[in-house]
Amino acid sequence: MAKHDRIKLLLKDDFVKLEDVNIILLGVGGVGSFCLDCLIRSGVKNITIVDFDTYDETNQNRQMWSEMHEGELKVDALKKHYPDIKIINQRVDEQWVWDFDFDEFDLVLDAIDDTKAKLALAQKCYKKLISSFGSAKRIDATAVKVDDIWKTYGDKFGSKIRYELKKRGFKKKYKVIFSSEEARIKEKGSFMGVTATFGLFMCSEVVKRLVK
């Protein structure tokens, strides 16, 4: 069998939608790297990734390929494993979001941590946005959920996002991956079982949206 035959069996004629979609993925850390791998293994061809960071030893408990590329830029390292992706070495901050032209992309995947940038993405790209809330500080992968922004709960980071969006008069909906598990610690400890689940949920949301 060929590489994508098994997912073609599952999606049938809808598989071509995965081949045709144009996606931009912001952040390729513990969430984004697993989302990227899932998208490519599922047959998505047109992916642009945006990140500014380099791999260090602390990434190795949760980020795809990190143990092989310590000290390298994440986007350059991932290009070696997924040669067809397009890469942008850039910190995703609020100003970059407002300045960047997202028109060519069908879906915008947000796996970043910057609060102001996340708010800007919601305001600018909500129609095609799938966003990730906090995946750190948790160990229960079964508590990971997907819902629209206004139905999320159990996450102080998410609560802050909702509060700030309301202050800006934002009332639209977009999909968010979040956890209902309360954070176990204050520090940013992380467990791959949860962070990777967030990334796989994000990939699943892409597929569901395309074949709906």
Q: With cut-offs at 50, 70 and 90, classify the pLDDT of residue 191.
A: very high
* Number of domains making up the chain: 1
Residue 100 vs residues 53, 92, 189: alpha-carbon distances, Å: 19, 10, 32
% of the chain exceeding 70 in pLDDT: 100
Host domain of residue 164? 5-211
CATH of the domain at 206: 3.40.50.720
Mean pLDDT of the chain: 94
pTM of the model: 0.95
Q: Flag whether pLDDT at 11 surpasses 80.
A: yes
pLDDT tens, position by position, 67-79: 888 999 999 999 9
pLDDT of residue 186: 87
Q: With cut-offs at 50, 70 and 90, classify the pLDDT of residue 27.
A: very high
pLDDT of residue 28: 95
